[in-house]
Structure 1
Amino acid sequence: MSDWTTDNKVTFWAFHERRYAEYLRYAYVQLGSDADAEEAVAHTFEQIMKKWLYMLGLESLDGYAWAILKGRIIDERRKRAKRPEPTDVTAFEAVLADGKDDYEVLAGTIHFYTAVRRLSERQRDAVILHYGFDLSTAATAELMGIEDATVRSQLRLARNRLLQLLAHPGSTNGDRKVRT
């Protein structure tokens, strides 16, 4: 950073401020651990800092940064393979947040999250950011560094895929077409 102009420093820290919380939230959803999420995001911003001057010349700075975050999450998962996985309690948290302790709601929530995990990576990201984080399609597109129309398309494909997966819960072939 010592060779950066003041403008370079200001833009980096503005980007950091704008993206840090969203990146941390996304990393937590993907990793299920505060410590792992914080480490992945810290490494993400270290790498972004090293490449910042290069990134400033890119057409999609957000897309490049998003790819770095995704890579750091993959690295954390690889490190985790050497130690026990934390239990994914997302479904339990969702049920308890509603104040319900109903087995059917819990089972349905677990089934839904399992189906979401079977989506393509881009569809899953769009679903998590748009529906899970309640971001607009424009905000989701900006965060992922893609076009708004691409997010809408990915969400449409994800909804269709989820309908297939949820309609055939025991199927090992989630790719079969549902006839309407």
Structure 2
Amino acid sequence: MPALWRFALVLSRSRDTADDLVQATCVRALERAGQYEPGTRLDRWLFSILHSIWVNEVRSRKVRQGSGVIDAELALIFDGRQAIETNILAAQMLAAIGKLPEPQREAVLLVYAEGFSYQEAATFLGIPIGTIMSRLAAARGRLAELNDNSGDGDGRN
């Protein structure tokens, strides 16, 4: 469930929406339990359901009004037990990832944060593996560009 929630948070950029997405995913999984193929990875099936629900929600929002999202920094969970430096770095990384286009955010979360293989991420999202590779390469380039332009005072532009 934590991995599913993190995926929902990266997609939606909202804690409340992430909670709703995970709940809707669980409800849909229970409703369609007969469609689950025993012996396959349950997480793969749940991630696919969540992604499908999210895509449908985005389409609905566009039709209704548009979306209201929060900054990625506001979505960071601070538990007080980790070092402050770790939380600052995590907030900076989350903010940078939040600036990526949604397809790149999805790929980064699935492969780098959740540790899924390129093929697994491609399967979750219903796209070719080459597209995952392309999105990750573009995301790495964009994150490097954002880091270079962060104004950290080392003289880089």
Question: Does the TM-score normalized on the shorter chain lie above 0.5?
Answer: yes
Distance 1:36 1:64, change over 3 A: closer
Instruction: Give the drift of 1:161.
Output: 0.2
- Normalising by the residue count of structure 1, what TM-score does the alignment of the two structures yield? 0.53
> Is the Cα contact below 8 Å between 2:96 and 2:143 reproduced in 1?
yes
Higher relative contact order (CA 8 A, sep 6+): 2
Instruction: Give the drift of 1:118.
Output: 0.7
Q: Give the letter aligned to residue 107 of structure 2.
A: A
Q: Give the letter aligned to residue 110 of structure 1.
A: A
Q: Give the letter aligned to residue 71 of structure 1.
A: N
Deviates more, 1:147-156 or 1:105-114: 105-114
Instruction: Give the drift of 1:101.
Output: 1.3
Q: For residues 52-101 of structure 1, give each alpha carbon's deviation from its aligned partner in whole angstroms, at most 9, with x where no partner exists.
A: 9xxxxxxxxx989834433337769x8x96xxxxx5234x35xx6xx641
> Is the Cα contact below 8 Å between 1:66 and 1:145 reproduced in 2?
no
Bigger Rg over Cα:
1
Instruction: Give the drift of 1:39.
Output: 3.6
Query: Aligned pair 1:88/2:70, yes or no?
Result: no
Query: Aligned pair 1:114/2:114, yes or no?
Result: no
Number of equivalent positions: 128
Gaps of 5+ in 1: 1-19, 53-61, 82-86, 171-177
1:101 corresponds, among 77, 80, 83, to 83
**In structure 2, distance between residues paired with 1:120 and 1:113:** 13
**In structure 2, distance between residues paired with 1:35 and 1:66:** 14
**In structure 1, distance between residues paired with 2:25 and 2:60:** 11
Distance 1:119 1:25, change over 3 A: closer
Q: Give the letter aligned to residue 32 of structure 1.
A: R
1:32 corresponds, among 6, 10, 15, to 15
2:123 corresponds, among 142, 156, 166, to 142
Gaps of 5+ in 2: 36-46, 69-73
**In structure 2, distance between residues paired with 1:121 and 1:70:** 11
**In structure 2, distance between residues paired with 1:70 and 1:32:** 17
Percent identity of paired positions between Structure 1 and Structure 2: 24
- Normalising by the residue count of structure 2, what TM-score does the alignment of the two structures yield? 0.60
Instruction: Give the drift of 1:24.
Output: 5.3
Report the counterpart of residue 125 of structure 1 in structure 2. Answer: 106
Distance 1:71 1:137, change over 3 A: same
> Is the Cα contact below 8 Å between 2:25 and 2:53 reproduced in 1?
no
